[in-house]
């Protein structure tokens, strides 16, 4: 079947065996205000729905582009058009019983309402092709702030696809302009170790089916949580789930002080990795690193022990796990500090770190 746009003064053009077109004149949407955006983070973003004869239905994304979104944003009293995301991304998706009312809308971009644009009644469209729209939100001069974060579909808590939560809805995070600095904040917020990888995750089983978060996170890498990072709306967005963000952090690790007799807050430092306890080399180790260890163990402040006091706890045996550890002193745990990869060092156990805390 071939379809066509036709003179908007006509309601219907008769069908033949080889050609059929159903044309809807302006006024089909019973303007004013029979258009809405649903399931988005605010009233100016979401899946497009129109009303006909009291029934709300969706719009197919055939030909749907910035011109149509610009008119829709204008009609709803929203700001400028930001993008044309798929309406299927806004969950929950439309019910199967809900009708797709319009196959295609064609606007010049200058109209005041969608009802003034050429439209074609739906004849062949499913809800996975529902149109969506993203407009600037005039009620807010800033981007929405994510309330929570997680790494989904990974092998553990500290590896996976980034998802953020806002108003009880989880969103996939677009990888565009995502940086390792932002990944560091994610790892810190989740209580994991340092960020070691961030990339697009194109592996199909790990791709999301949730709406895509349409704000850019502009982290410096020093923030405690993603909520503390500045953000801004996308100027334009062409993200899909091929661009979902994948982050890998090192696993959090336990640590202990040994060799201090009955004093749990004094001794040679050991960390647990892959089920094995090992020591830490003192290359570059100083007061800031001491403070982070004491803080993580709940042992008060570092007493800044002398070289002699440190060596009084003796050398360790077995693995030397960490070397060249560097902390700013602001970290809540040692895994957030910079260090070489696990097991890489140029030390002997004569250089094992010892820490003495105040409690």
Full-model pTM: 0.48
Which two three-digit tokens encode residue 279?
Answer: 């020591």
> Which parts of the chain fold into alpha helices (H)?
66-75, 180-189, 287-297, 307-311
pLDDT at 64 over 90: yes
In angstroms, the CA 55 to CA 59 distance is: 13
* Residues 22 and 12: beta-carbon distance below 8 Å: yes
pLDDT at 48 over 50: yes
What percent of the chain clears pLDDT 70, i.e. is strictly above it?
83
In angstroms, the CA 237 to CA 320 distance is: 47
pLDDT confidence tier of residue 280, bands split at 50, 70 and 90: very high
Specify the 3-state DSSP secondary structure of 291: helix
* Residues 181 and 242: beta-carbon distance below 8 Å: no
pLDDT tens, position by position, 97-141? 999 999 999 999 988 899 899 998 888 899 989 999 988 876 655
Beta bridge partners of 269: 257
CB-CB neighbours of 57 under 10 Å: 17
Q: Calculate the average pLDDT of the chain.
A: 80
* Residues 138 and 44: beta-carbon distance below 8 Å: yes
The secondary structure of 195-218, three-state, reads: EEEEEECCCHHHCCCCCEECEEEC
In angstroms, the CA 16 to CA 10 distance is: 17
**Distances from the Cα of 310 to the Cαs of 214, 233, 270, 301, in angstroms?**
52, 52, 14, 16
pLDDT at 93 over 80: yes
* Window from 57-66, 138-147, 201-210, 325-334 with minimum mean pLDDT: 201-210
pLDDT at 304: 85
Query: The dihedral of CA 305, 311, 317, 320: what is its sign?
Result: positive
Specify the 3-state DSSP secondary structure of 108: coil
């Amino acid at each position: 079947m071939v379809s066509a746009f036709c003179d908007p003064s006509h309601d219907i053009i008769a069908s033949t065996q080889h050609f059929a077109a159903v044309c809807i004149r302006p006024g089909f949407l019973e303007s004013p205000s029979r258009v809405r955006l649903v399931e988005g983070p605010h009233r100016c973003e979401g899946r497009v729905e129109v009303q006909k004869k009291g029934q709300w239905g969706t719009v197919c994304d055939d030909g749907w582009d910035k011109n149509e979104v610009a008119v829709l944003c204008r009609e709803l009293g929203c700001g400028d058009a930001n993008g044309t995301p798929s309406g299927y991304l806004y969950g929950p998706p439309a019910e199967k019983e809900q009708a797709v009312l319009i196959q295609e809308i064609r606007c010049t971009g200058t109209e005041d309402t969608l009802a003034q644009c050429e439209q074609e009644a739906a004849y062949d469209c499913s809800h996975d092709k529902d149109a969506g729209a993203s407009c600037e939100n005039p009620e807010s001069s800033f981007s929405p702030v994510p309330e929570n974060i997680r790494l989904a579909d990974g092998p553990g808590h500290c590896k996976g696809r980034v998802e953020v939560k806002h108003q009880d809805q989880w969103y996939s995070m677009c990888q565009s302009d995502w940086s390792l600095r932002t990944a560091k904040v994610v790892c810190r917020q989740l209580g994991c170790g340092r960020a070691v990888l961030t990339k697009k995750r194109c592996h199909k089983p790990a791709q999301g089916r949730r709406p895509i978060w349409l704000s850019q996170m502009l982290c410096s890498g020093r923030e405690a949580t993603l909520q503390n990072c500045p953000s801004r709306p996308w100027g334009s967005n062409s993200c899909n789930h091929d661009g979902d963000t994948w982050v890998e952090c090192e696993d959090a690790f336990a640590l202990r002080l040994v060799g201090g007799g009955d004093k749990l807050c004094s001794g040679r430092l050991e960390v647990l990795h892959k089920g094995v306890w090992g020591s830490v080399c003192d290359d570059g180790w100083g007061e800031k690193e001491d403070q982070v260890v004491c803080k993580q163990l709940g042992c008060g402040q570092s007493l800044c022990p002398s070289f002699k006091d440190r060596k009084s706890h003796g050398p360790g045996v077995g693995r030397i796990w960490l070397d060249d550890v560097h902390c700013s002193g602001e970290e809540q745990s040692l895994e957030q500090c910079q260090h070489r990869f696990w097991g890489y060092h140029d030390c002997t156990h004569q250089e094992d770190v010892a820490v003495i805390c105040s409690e």
